[in-house]
Amino acid sequence: MKREIFIGDVGIGGNHPVSIQSMTNTPTGDSEATLAQIRALALAGCQIIRVSVPDGDSLAGFKKIIAHSPLPVVADIHFDAGLAIKSIEAGAAGIRINPGNIGGKERVKTVLQAARDHKVPIRIGVNAGSLEKKYLHLNGSKAEVMVQSVMDKVKFFEDNDFLDIKISLKSSSVRETVTAYRLMDKACDYPLHLGVTEAGTIFSGTVKSVLGIGSLLLEGIGNTIRVSLTADPVEEIGVALEILKTLGLRDGGVEIISCPTCSRTSVDLIAMARQVEKRLASIQTGHKVSVAVMGCEVNGPGEAREADLGIAFSQRWGYIFKKGKMIEKVAPESAVNRLVELVQLETGSKT
Amino acid sequence: MKREIFIGDVGIGGNHPVSIQSMTNTPTGDSEATLAQIRALALAGCQIIRVSVPDGDSLAGFKKIIAHSPLPVVADIHFDAGLAIKSIEAGAAGIRINPGNIGGKERVKTVLQAARDHKVPIRIGVNAGSLEKKYLHLNGSKAEVMVQSVMDKVKFFEDNDFLDIKISLKSSSVRETVTAYRLMDKACDYPLHLGVTEAGTIFSGTVKSVLGIGSLLLEGIGNTIRVSLTADPVEEIGVALEILKTLGLRDGGVEIISCPTCSRTSVDLIAMARQVEKRLASIQTGHKVSVAVMGCEVNGPGEAREADLGIAFSQRWGYIFKKGKMIEKVAPESAVNRLVELVQLETGSKT
């Protein structure tokens, strides 16, 4: 088990569930725009927000953001130890630095002192694209070198009696990212922040992030995740939530199981599944509710039977199943309404 | 290494690259509509197409489809051994059956005989949702029971001297699917067809398929893949290709590496990355070309330097890198055009 740290009230590591974070892309100096984005992210399910503080001008905005943010705020700092210290003093719930680009060991010590004084955890964040030069020519795979770079920094933190750490080591290559985190997971017991960096646009970035983050979580590696997309950050939260739901790491909500349709399908199942998904998306449930929408008699009854509620179509009828029993036969045209209604009744969300 | 089989001219197993397949969802009796869908799928990158043959009426359409399909055609058969035999005689390049629902062992033997006579491989396809009753009450996890069900069928095929086999064992649960395929991979050397069944709509289905199929491929498991979405099957091919590209299992094409943007970003990077991706999507290249589009000076130059071509923005300029060297400085407003032009020149695709 990993050590436990807290970013605001969100526990990471220990027995805490995997948490979701994102990063604002509004100018930090524009605190109103940034707060609006944070609120939208919080509503979507984001639990921790990171805001970059690139210069003194953004520091004033950062203070306002902290004062009004519904989520704990992490400051993302590069190059300037003074900004890291000022962000901590401003009330950041955490900071993220790459100790390799913050201006030498003495400067890092001053940051550690400030973080210790304010009980603020630090993420050591190393990216394949910004490794210090001295690591570029080491022997070993890129993943091994990234881990070496992190471990050197961890040792320095430990030597300075600072253990309030989480770690990330991201690459834009999914294979490299997965390999690096696997090695890191064995090398120390600090909680891990997972992500694939510079993952790309919403389509290719989703595929890369799901594959990199998801396959690590499937192995039990990772304590907090950030999906990176070159897109509105709210999109990142949807993908992150779907990864956690898919792996059974997030309770609640409705899971739609639907078949890919084939020539056996006699109803417009694509439209029906979309409608059911859309109408049930906002239902809050304490435990996961699975709803199957199946086009034919081959796998339909089996999947519908295993779901909490489900429908399987024959040529003429939709057969509704509830926890393994066929309970109703409906005409295709009233199938969506009836299925949604039954799910709402089942989950107590019928108004 | 897995045994080698051939579906038409597409090799599966052995040293063959992972191939992509899909399934039509048009009525098989409507051969024109089905052929139009197959052509669209072939254009998108599909290599093997499966068509369900649910009844005698669809058999006439199936024959026409085989006669004109640009892809090798697999017949998907349930319940009726006679249809399996007629599909083989009609020229199917492969058939998919679940031997548990085809009408008893003697019927399966007649199918094996026809397949042997015509040198047609058979996929043994077991789904969690349609396991025979006798397996539902066995001890062990669902994944173990699915593997047991497949192995019983494999033994029967082997006893009848039929080894031209590939195997699938799909569940709508990603964890169950991954566990089942891992066990199967160790249990025999027949090539594996990967998929998560009834994965759902385009969003949740993409996440499930990428996670299930991708994490297995990352472990070196899987010889041919089918992404299942409740959507136009052409969408499945895009997701499948992206999985293979992400894992370095498919040569060629352009990979866009772009950052998620943050408050340091001073240009409209989301729009730029989308434009670059769109304008370079159709470029055919023998080897993968990576193109980085980066918003700032933190990871930008590092990632841009590692890419074949890349751009990293400062507040005022875009710096274009080619294989590690900064070669040009451009204004943000001409950055997309110039980067696309350089990629086209580099790949010989400039018209």
CA B60 to chain centre: 28
CATH number of domain containing A205: 3.20.20.20
Of B222, B246, B270, the position where a domain reaches its end is B246
Confidence class of residue A266 from pLDDT cuts 50, 70 and 90?
Answer: confident
What is the domain count for chain A? 2
Of A229, A246, A263, the position where a domain reaches its end is A246
Looking at residue B222, what DSSP letter applies? -
Looking at residue B334, what DSSP letter applies? G
Task: Select from B273, B262, B279 the least CA-distant residue to B310.
Answer: B273
Residues from chain A that touch B303, judged by Cβ atoms under 8 A, are: 129, 172, 197-198
Residues from chain A that touch B51, judged by Cβ atoms under 8 A, are: 263
Looking at residue A93, what DSSP letter applies? S
Question: CB distance from B74 to chain A under 8 Å?
Answer: no
The pLDDT assigned to B241 comes to 92
Q: What are the C-alpha distances in Å from A93 to residues A63, A74, A87, B274, B335?
A: 12, 6, 9, 34, 38
Residues from chain A that touch B270, judged by Cβ atoms under 8 A, are: 230-232
Rounded CA-CA distance B30/A334 in Å is 27
The pLDDT assigned to B350 comes to 61
Task: Select from A77, A104, A109 the least CA-distant residue to A90.
Answer: A77
8 Å CB contact of A218 and B263: no
> Is A213 in the same domain as A327?
no
8 Å CB contact of A302 and B270: no
Looking at residue B192, what DSSP letter applies? B
pLDDT, tens digit, 9 for 90 and up, residues B92-111:
999 999 988 888 899 999 99
Report helix, strand or coil for A62.
Answer: helix
B288: burial class by Cβ within 10 Å (0-12, 13-18, 19+)? middle
Residues from chain B that touch A238, judged by Cβ atoms under 8 A, are: 203
> Is A93 in the same domain as A161?
yes
> Is B237 in the same domain as B121?
yes
pLDDT, tens digit, 9 for 90 and up, residues B234-261:
999 999 999 999 998 987 778 888 888 8
Specify the pTM.
0.86
Strands B193-194 and B165-170, bridge-based pairing: unpaired
- Phi, psi values for residue B192, rounded to 5°: -110, 135
- Kindly give, in sequence order, each residue whose CB lies less than 8 Å from that of residue A220, ignoring residues fewer than 6 positions away: none
Share of chain A above pLDDT 90, in %: 67
> Is B84 in the same domain as B106?
yes
Chain A closest CA to B345's CA: distance in Å? Answer: 23
> Is B185 in the same domain as B217?
yes
* Angle formed at CA B105 by CA B103 and CA B107, multiple of 5 degrees: 55
Of A204, A228, A246, the position where a domain reaches its end is A246
B290 token code pair = 């990576």
Q: Is the pLDDT of residue A351 over 70?
A: no
> Is B111 in the same domain as B216?
yes
- Kindly give, in sequence order, each residue whose CB lies less than 8 Å from that of residue B45, ignoring residues fewer than 6 positions away: B20, B237, B240, B241
Q: Is the pLDDT of residue B335 over 80?
A: yes
Rounded CA-CA distance B111/B17 in Å is 29
Indicate the residue of A246, A255, A273 with minimum beta-carbon distance to B230. Answer: A273
> Is B317 in the same domain as B198?
no
Question: CB distance from B73 to chain A under 8 Å?
Answer: no
Confidence class of residue A350 from pLDDT cuts 50, 70 and 90?
Answer: low
> Is A292 in the same domain as A336?
yes
Range of the domain at A52: 5-246
Q: Is the pLDDT of residue B351 over 60?
A: no
Residues from chain A that touch B136, judged by Cβ atoms under 8 A, are: none
B193 token code pair = 């067809």
CB-defined contacts A:B, below 8 A: 239
- Contacting A residues, span 309-348, partner chain B, CB-CB under 8 Å: none
The pLDDT assigned to A258 comes to 87
> Is A10 in the same domain as A127?
yes
Task: Select from B30, B82, B25, B31 the least CA-distant residue to B56.
Answer: B82
Question: CB distance from A68 to chain B under 8 Å?
Answer: no
Q: What are the C-alpha distances in Å from A193 to residues A123, A160, A209?
A: 8, 22, 13
The pLDDT assigned to B299 comes to 72
* Average pLDDT along chain A: 91
Mean pLDDT of B4-15: 97
Question: CB distance from B250 to chain A under 8 Å?
Answer: no
Residues from chain B that touch A261, judged by Cβ atoms under 8 A, are: 25, 230
Torsion-angle region of B320 (φ positive above 0: left; ψ -120 to 50: alpha; else: beta): beta
Rounded CA-CA distance B346/B327 in Å is 14
Which is more confident, A273 or B129?
Answer: A273
pLDDT, tens digit, 9 for 90 and up, residues A216-247:
999 999 999 999 998 899 999 999 999 999 99
Rounded CA-CA distance A55/A38 in Å is 20
Question: CB distance from A263 to chain B under 8 Å?
Answer: yes
CATH number of domain containing B339: 3.30.413.10
Mean pLDDT of B310-319: 90
Q: Search chain B and give the residue with CA nearest A296.
A: B54
> Is A240 in the same domain as A311?
no
> Is B141 in the same domain as B268?
no
Please, where are the H alpha helices in A191-252? 202-218, 233-246
Report helix, strand or coil for B66.
Answer: helix
Query: How many CA atoms, within 13 angstroms, populate the side-chain half-sphere of residue A241?
Result: 21
Rounded CA-CA distance B128/B121 in Å is 23
pLDDT, tens digit, 9 for 90 and up, residues B264-300:
888 888 889 988 988 887 777 778 888 999 888 777 7
Rounded CA-CA distance B283/B349 in Å is 7
> Is A238 in the same domain as A259?
no
Mean pLDDT of B338-342: 93
ipTM, interface predicted TM-score of the complex: 0.85
